[in-house]
Amino acid sequence: MIPFWWFNFLVVRDLGMDLAWSHNDVSPTVRTVKSTATTSYTKLVDIVQASSASQSVPKCASECQKAIICLHKMGFTVQLQVTNIIFHNKVVVSEVAAHKIFGRSFETKYRYPATADYRHVIVTRNIYSSVVSGYLYHRSGRECWLDWYGRLPPKGGFFNGWLVNNTVEDWHNRIANVSTRVMYPWPDARGRDLCRYLADESETDGLRIYMEWAMAIYFRPFHQFFQERLEKEQRTNTTYRTAHICFEEQMQNFFDTTHIMTRYFDTPIENATLEQQVQRIQSGGAGHDTEKDPELRRRLKDIIRRLDNQLFNGTLALWDNQIGCGIQSKV
């Protein structure tokens, strides 16, 4: 059992949250994700509504894996809070990543569930917003010389500065075989780690390197899984086993979305109890914001779109469209 303080500590490294917590009576918008397959991913709310209307949505089998699957900078640590406080770890959370530590659990347990049945919720976020938050987060020094709160760690204290141990050149060598960009020379980083490089260089140069790094480590493996799972469940007519929700919707309608999750995972909770648990989660993430300046974020998104067109052949735009959280006009 992972202690609660650990989740409070983790939640601060999440997204540079530029989305407001709120509790209202509006259910998450019903929307589907367009893909290269013949049909669309099913929204979480649609599956729950169909089940309530007895439209032949099967109950989970006795051996049923229940998990929330997401991505770095797309709500991972918020989902850790949800699984710990709401579901008491009866629902797990797994992160997709091309990384021997962070992606291991997903690859070994959740990509291909060994149980007879499963219920997974995939949480995604608008990719442009995710790139901006990740860039600002690491540019500030977090997970390099600063901790997840943006503070210098105490002497002898725990510190997850894993990015300090890898230079920009190290990352270039590691992702060279999965690069999505057209041929373009990497800079002479002079032995700097990723955070230091982002802090020192221009926004355009920093975003160019960060985009390629994030695409190789996070976005590409996530997109491959997203499409693979969708196509498999469409072939087997089991699309109810995996539901999708956008992180923007979750944060804007947090109570309602969490209530829908409890119904999907068949873990009913009284509204009063759920209200208290949601408030506990909302109070646990204070102190972690990246720069909220709307003009800065808008400028960075414009640079990302330009670099995507010039260097990545529009790959990021394609993935963002297929994921389906495309609220690019919102900062």
pLDDT value at position 56? 67
Q: Do 37 and 164 belong together in one domain?
A: no
Q: Do 89 and 233 belong together in one domain?
A: yes
Q: Do 87 and 43 belong together in one domain?
A: yes
Q: Do 247 and 259 belong together in one domain?
A: yes
Q: Do 75 and 96 belong together in one domain?
A: yes
Determine the residue type at 148. Answer: W
Q: Do 265 and 311 belong together in one domain?
A: no
Ranges of the chain with pLDDT below 70: 1-41, 54-56, 101-102, 155-161, 176-184, 283-291, 326-331
Q: Do 113 and 26 belong together in one domain?
A: yes
Q: Do 109 and 165 belong together in one domain?
A: no
Q: Do 62 and 198 belong together in one domain?
A: no
In a domain, 9, yes or no: no
By CB atoms closer than 10 A (0-12, 13-18, 19+), residue 16 is: buried
> What is the DSSP secondary structure assignment for residue 7, as one 8-state letter?
H
pLDDT value at position 265? 93
In a domain, 328, yes or no: no
pTM of this structure: 0.80
For 71, the domain range is 14-127+222-282
Closest CA to 137 of 198, 201, 181: 198
Do the strands 92-95 and 242-246 form a parallel or antiparallel pair, or are they unpaired? Answer: unpaired
End-to-end CA distance of the chain: 37
Q: Do 177 and 302 belong together in one domain?
A: yes
The residues near 237 (Cβ < 8 Å, ≥ 6 apart) are none
SS3 call for 1: coil
Q: Could you report the per-residue pLDDT of 222-273, keeping only the tens digit for each?
A: 988 988 998 999 999 998 999 999 998 888 888 999 999 999 999 888 888 8
In a domain, 277, yes or no: yes
